[in-house]
Structure 1
C-alpha cells in the first residue's frame, strides 16, 4: 500500500511545504512536519514501522498528533498574527 511507503510521506511533506509558500498562514507547515515525521518513522523501520504498517488508523493518529505538535511549536515561534486583537492580562492604567 502507498501509505506504508516512506518516500510517499516525504513527497507529501515536500508538496505541503511548497503549498505553504503559496498560501498565507502556517497551517500547511504543521501538516508537512507531521508527514515528514511519519515518513522518517517508516524510513527508519524497526518495531514502530511494523506497528504503523499493520494499522492505518494508528498511522493517521501519529500523523495527526505530530502535525498538531508541530503546529503548536510553529505558532510559539512565529507568534500571533498582526491583525489579531491584543489581549491585555492586566489593567493598562496601572
Structure 2
C-alpha cells in the first residue's frame, strides 16, 4: 500500500513542485502543498487511511492550499488610471 508511505507522498510533492516551475500558475503548487501536507500527516501522526480517503484528504488540502495562494498572490482588482504624469 504505497499511499500509506510518507516518502511516496513527498516524492509526489517534489515532482509537482518541479512541474510548477515549468508551468507557473499556482495550480501545481497547490497540489504540491497538498501532497506535502499529507506526507507530514502520515509521518507525524501515523495516519493510515484507505486509498479513497487519502485521495479525498489530498484533494481537500490541495484546494485549501490553492485558495490560500490565490488570496495571498491575487492581482489587484480594477485598473489604475493616471490623470497626470506619474513622473511629477
* TM-score exceeds 0.5: yes
Alignment RMSD (CA, Å): 1.9
TM-fit CA distance, 1:8: 0.5
- Per-residue deviation, residues 36-90 of structure 1 (Å, max 9, x unmatched): 01111111134xx13x2xx111111110100000000000111038xxx849xxx
Q: How far did 1:9 drift?
A: 0.2
Counterpart in the other structure of 1:63: 58
Q: Where does structure 1 differ by over 2 angstroms across 4 or more consecutive aligned residues?
A: none
Runs of 5+ unmatched residues, structure 2: 80-88
The TM-score with structure 1 as length reference comes to 0.76
SS in structure 2 at match of 1:58: helix
> The residue matched to 1:65 in structure 2 has which SS?
helix
1:30 is displaced (CA, Å) by 0.3
Which is higher, the Rg of structure 1 or of structure 2?
A: 2
Q: Which has the higher helix share?
A: 1
Cα distance in structure 2, aligned partners of 1:37 and 1:74: 15
> In the TM superposition, what is the alpha-carbon distance from 1:3 to its structure 2 partner?
1.0
Report how many residues are paired. Answer: 79
